[in-house]
Structures are given as structure tokens and as C-alpha cells.
Amino acid sequence: MALWAQGRPATAEEIKRRDLTVFADGRGLPVGKGTAARGQGIYKEKCAVCHNDRGEGREKQYPALVGGIGSLATDKPKKSVGSYWPYATTVWDYINRSMPFDHPRSLSVDEAYAVTAFVLHLNGIVTETQELNEKTLPQVQMPNRNGFVPDQRPDIKAKRNR
């Protein structure tokens, strides 16, 4: 039963379990680990139905996860994990929170690291055996890491992490 349906305030422990804040610099990542080699089977079982076996997506249904690196400044940009996302930590966060689409938050922490590693491997960003964890994931350099620029409007106070 959902907390809101129980008619009581959430406990500190319940709130802590739902505190999902993960920052681009890796703060908030939980302890865990995974490799692309391990993630391949998990991806095939839980992700390929939507994104196809090699992350190419399903046209007009589910987005491609691979391809397009170097295409953003062209007339036909292809936005994918490899070409568009600036931080590997946000890839992990999105997978952990939202995937699989029909069962969000059903992956364990280690499965989320492994699937993230597999998707990054498909994009040529990490090797098949490179272990991703709370320490190594923030160090992954995404191809579009510096592709976003800070908003220069005077009313915007956000600062860019480098």
C-alpha cells in the first residue's frame, strides 16, 4: 500500500529510502558496482524489448540509446545517451529511477550500474569489463560533457559544475 494511502506521516526511514537525489558530480550515488559484461544480460531481459538489442531504439516508440556522437552540430542531430547526455551519473540516475518503463525502480543498485555500463559500452564510452561504481561513474567523460553552456541571464543563479 502506498504511504499516502496509509493515512500517516512517512517515517524518517521511509523518507530516506525515497531520497533519490544524485548530482552530476556523483554525490548521492549509492554504493554498488556493475560492468557492461554483467549488464548485457540484464539489458537483454529488461530493456531490449523497448530499445532493441543494441540500443538502436524503436522508431516513433522508444528512443535510440546509441549513435549520433558528433551529430549535434549538424542538420540532422541524433540525440542519444552517447551523443547528448553530459554526465554518466545522470544516465545512472535516470535508469535507476525510471527503468524499465513498465516497472520503474525494480532494478537493484548493482543492476542499475551494470545496465548503465552496458549502455555506455554500446556507445564506446567504457570497456566491457570496466567497473562502474559510486567512485568511478562520476569520472566517466561523456562526449557531450561540455556541450551545455551556463545560462547567462542575470535572474538565473545556477552555476555549472566542472
C-alpha cell of residue 15: 523518507
- For residue 131, tell me if it sits in a domain: yes
With contact defined as beta carbons under 8 Å apart, do 14 and 66 qualify?
no
Q: C-alpha grid cell for residue 157?
A: 543563479
- With H, G, I as helix, E, B as strand and everything else as coil, classify residue 14: helix
CATH number at residue 90: 1.10.760.10
> What pLDDT shows up at residue 5?
60
Q: Is residue 9 in some structural domain? A: no
* The pLDDT of residue 51: 96
Q: How many domains does the chain have?
A: 1
Residue pointed to by grid coordinates 549509492: 30
Domain that holds residue 95: 23-139
Spell out the per-residue pLDDT of the chain, length 162, in tens. Answer: 555 566 888 899 888 777 788 999 999 999 999 999 999 999 999 999 999 999 999 988 899 999 999 999 999 999 999 999 999 999 999 999 999 999 999 999 999 999 999 999 999 999 999 999 999 999 999 999 998 877 778 887 766 554
Residue 115 placed within a domain? yes
Q: Is residue 120 part of a domain?
A: yes
Give how far Cα 91 sits from Cα of 3, 96, 123, 131, 154, Å. Answer: 28, 9, 13, 15, 30
Q: Is residue 151 part of a domain?
A: no
**Distance, CA of 110 to CA of 87 (rounded, Å):** 19
Answer whether residue 148 is part of any domain: no
> For residues 42 and 107, is the Cβ–Cβ distance under 8 A?
yes
